[in-house]
Amino acid sequence: MTLPQTTLPQSTAAALADDGPLARNIAGYVARPAQQRMAQAVADTIEAREHLIAEAGTGTGKTYAYLVPALLSGQRVIVSTGTRALQDQLYHRDLPRVREALGVRIKSALLKGRSNYLCWYRLERARNEGRFVSREAVGHLQRIHAWAGRSRSGDLAEIDFVAEDSPLWPQVTSSVENCLGGECPFYAECFVVKARQAAQEADLVVVNHHLLFADQAIKREGFGEILPGAHAFVLDEAHQLPELAAQFFSTSVSMRQLQELARDAVAECGEVSGALDEVQEPARDLEQRLRELRLALDPLPTRGPLWQIRRDAECDDALAATQAALSALHSVLDAFAERSVGFKACAERAQSQRERMAQVLGDSAGGEVRWYEITPRGFALHLTPLDVAQPLREFREQSRAAWIFTSATLAVDGGFDHLARQLGLESPRTVLEPSPFDFSTQALAYLPRGMPEPNMRGYVDAIVEAALPVLDASNGRAFLLFTSHRALREAADKLAVRRDFPLFVQGTQPRHRLLEQFRASGNGVLLGAASFWEGVDVAGEALQLVVIDKLPFAAPDDPVLEARLDAVRRRGGNAFRDWQLPTAVIGLKQGAGRLIRTHADRGVLMLCDPRLIAKSYGRVFLDSLPPLPRTRELADVQAFFARAAS
């Protein structure tokens, strides 16, 4: 790989110029000043091995702005995205276009976490066991086996005939706990190993944030050898990082993990004579204790601090019985560890789960919160750090690399202090490039009059009543975004009675199918909660209206949030100003960003929360949004849509 003869900022500027290689070789490419400025900042940061926070509004072209200097740098670069969907888009669409246009010859690789790849060992075991609940599952397994023989990558994203939430996936993929590593009989054919090897040899590796944190944290995914030596890290969708880092630096143990351990232990008995008599009883006992614990947790709130479990005698006894059952299973598995590779792996998993449970249930050392969550079919116990700035800072210092953090939504009231503090960044370079769209003609913000306070009974009724005439004016073609699933369901019930427009409700189908049907409908109304506030791109006439029910402040009963706010107060800070407000502002920016995706889009952003006008902090939200004209009059909204139709 030859290094550019000019400096990186110079070669970047030339590549993005009006007469540069991108303009010559990419159909429809137009040089954009905002993109050029961001690219220059990225090039300067890579060359100096410094840190950059860059907000680039929708339409800026931030992907090309970091890919061009990354490809021209002549250095090893890791690009990390927020989602697997964005990871695939970046690797399969954007990267090939830019690389071909620039004419650079570099090796690139796409790397995901191990659960995204087929595991040959678990596939063969699933086929041999033949325990399935339906003929459909048997058919899917046969099709997966046929696909695996043809696939070069083993990436499950290539499979479109199995539902995202199918119970089949855990049976044909490995996890950190159950992977046999180098002792696996299929090690030479392992798709994960092949993906790692390709990443080790690549100049540019596309990963996602989960995998990046896996490498940074405890090397849990086993990919620790691919990231050291990188000259630069580019983290797209960086607004997700603080929350994801907290999740990944957490220690957790779940009912699902322990159930899978018990079932895998029994499944291994077929390979060792006499094992079934010894292993089956403690494995079944662990599963029974887990069911009893889950039943004991029923009266508790779905999320809360761990002390709520510990002070309830029935729950605490059930928890102790589960720990004892896990220890008993570990003792039996440990005795069989030398009899087979599978039993050895199960014994190691059991020991790991024992250690995690002891850590989660131990005494607090400060700077962390112990909490639980209950789901319809299980539970999980967590130990979560309140501040991830220090471990993130330590990793950056050890890497001695450039770090670029970018997203369309990072700034709060024009500044980056909130994000910089959470990520442990001190005096980073910053770039704030607003969207180039003409919001004065393309969009309108509507803040309806007479809305009740969000905590008042009947608030969802008021939203629906206020939205109906707007939906009539827009002819549907709308997203209704909610901060809670309860409000979403209530609104869906009320709108279903009207039957004015095709209705698409989150939870009734996989997200990608809902979006496909929404686009095809022409005048649909889609109701979504958290996962539809970001990462959803519907350009053109299919989406003309985005309705947001209320400001996305985090739930006040979230045990992690409560602990974080207490920590802010103990440091002498203002919990609302320093944490709750900035986080909600970024969330609102994400939701609002669904509306205008291209220069040709037009639409109305309807913000129902009266606190935007009534409260002093409402100005922070409004000033952080793109410069949309605002109105409180329904007639202005109707006139906007009438002009668009004429």
**The predicted structure's pLDDT at residue 218:** 43
β-pairing, 378-385 vs 368-375, is antiparallel
State whether 498 and 633 are in the same domain.
Answer: yes
Q: Which of 162, 192, 222 is the last residue of a domain?
A: 192
Report the mean per-residue pLDDT for the chain: 92
State whether 571 and 457 are in the same domain.
Answer: yes
**225 — pLDDT class (breaks 50, 70, 90):** low
Tell me the helix, strand and coil percentages in the chain, rounded to 5. 50, 15, 35
402 located within any domain? yes
Q: Under DSSP, is residue 429 helix (H, G, I), strand (E, B) or coil?
A: strand
**The predicted structure's pLDDT at residue 227:** 65
State whether 504 and 520 are in the same domain.
Answer: yes
CB 404 within 8 A of CB 54: yes
198 located within any domain? no
72 has pLDDT over 80: yes
Q: Which of 404, 479, 511 is nearest to 85 (CA)?
A: 511
State whether 513 and 417 are in the same domain.
Answer: no
Tokens found for residue 43: 């090039």
What are the tens digits of pLDDT across the range 413-447?
A: 999 999 999 999 999 999 999 999 999 999 999 99
Tokens found for residue 626: 């793109």
413 located within any domain? yes
Q: Under DSSP, is residue 207 helix (H, G, I), strand (E, B) or coil?
A: strand
**219 — pLDDT class (breaks 50, 70, 90):** very low
State whether 624 and 492 are in the same domain.
Answer: yes
State whether 308 and 226 are in the same domain.
Answer: no
Q: What is the DSSP string of 627-640?
A: ---EE--HHHHHHH
State whether 445 and 427 are in the same domain.
Answer: no
CB 549 within 8 A of CB 608: yes
405 located within any domain? yes
Report DSSP state, residue 401.
Answer: -
467 located within any domain? yes
What are the tens digits of pLDDT across the range 570-620?
A: 989 999 999 999 999 999 999 999 999 999 999 999 999 999 999 999 999
Domain hosting residue 347, numbered range: 251-380
Q: What is the CATH number of the domain that holds 269?
A: 1.20.1440
Q: What is the CATH number of the domain that holds 524?
A: 3.40.50.300
Q: Please report where in the chains the tokens 């993005």 appear, as a residue.
A: 16
State whether 341 and 296 are in the same domain.
Answer: yes
Q: How many domains does the structure of the chain reveal?
A: 4
CA 82 – CA 210 distance, rounded (Å): 8
Neighbouring C-beta atoms of residue 161, cutoff 10 Å: 10
What are the tens digits of pLDDT across the range 246-259?
A: 888 899 999 999 99
CA 429 – CA 444 distance, rounded (Å): 33
State whether 134 and 237 are in the same domain.
Answer: no
Start-to-end C-alpha separation, the chain: 56
List, in order, residues 6 or more apart from 422 with CB less than 8 Å away. Answer: 241, 242, 388, 389
State whether 102 and 140 are in the same domain.
Answer: no
344 located within any domain? yes
15 located within any domain? yes
197 located within any domain? no
Secondary structure element (H or E) that encloses residue 72, with its range = helix 62-72
State whether 243 and 259 are in the same domain.
Answer: no
CB 208 within 8 A of CB 177: no
State whether 338 and 259 are in the same domain.
Answer: yes
